[in-house]
Amino acid sequence: MTRVEAMRSSQTLAHFKRFGKAALAAVVIGVVLFAVWANPERMGVGAAGSQQGRDEIRIELSNNGFSPSEVQHAPGSFAISVENTTLSTEYKLRLTAEDGTVLSEVQVQKGSSAWTVTLQTGRYTLTEVNHSQWICNIVVQ
């Protein structure tokens, strides 16, 4: 083999190595994208007010309290997002289990808030501490 032929052979081999790495990367990316697309849990689980691709319940807080006054969600982890249109100062949201156990309290300086919870099957109550009549029932089933 001449020196020119050896250089061409080496260049061809290098070209195939680069192409092979690119092809492998494309296959891996394709498999990952397919796995994400095919996963049935990639969508919200039917929570009232949930947005596609984001597992959360969305609740509005106004002068009349929470809207909706009841939401449903499947057991597990999800976000509770409260859009505040009323309170311009600091306020506290409290999530309580059916037996009265306080599961979480979220102090909000002002504006809206979101946090993640993990809830089992049951009924839960979301309230604003200084407005006990403002109630949103969260039914997990």
CATH number of the domain to which 92 belongs: 2.60.40.420
**84 lies in the same domain as 20:** no
Q: Are residues 21 and 84 in the same domain?
A: no
| pTM, two decimal places | 0.62
- Whether residues 34 and 48 share a domain: the answer is no
Could you give the CA distance from residue 109 to residue 91 in angstroms, rounded to a whole number? 7
Q: Over the stretch 70-125, which tens digit does the pLDDT of each residue have?
A: 999 999 999 999 999 888 888 999 999 999 999 999 999 888 999 999 999 999 99
pLDDT tens digits, one per residue of 32-84: 444 444 433 333 333 344 344 469 999 999 988 999 999 999 999 999 999 99
Contact 111, 93 (CB under 8 A): no
Q: What does the alpha-carbon distance between residue 100 and residue 135 come to, in Å, rounded to a whole number?
A: 14
Same domain, 50 and 27: no
Spatial CA neighbour of 122 closest among 140, 95, 135, 136: 140
Q: Are 113 and 89 contained in the same domain? A: yes
Q: Are residues 134 and 116 in the same domain?
A: yes
Parent domain of 122: 44-140
Q: Which residues contact 48 (CB under 8 A, 6 or more apart)?
A: 57, 68, 70, 71, 72, 73
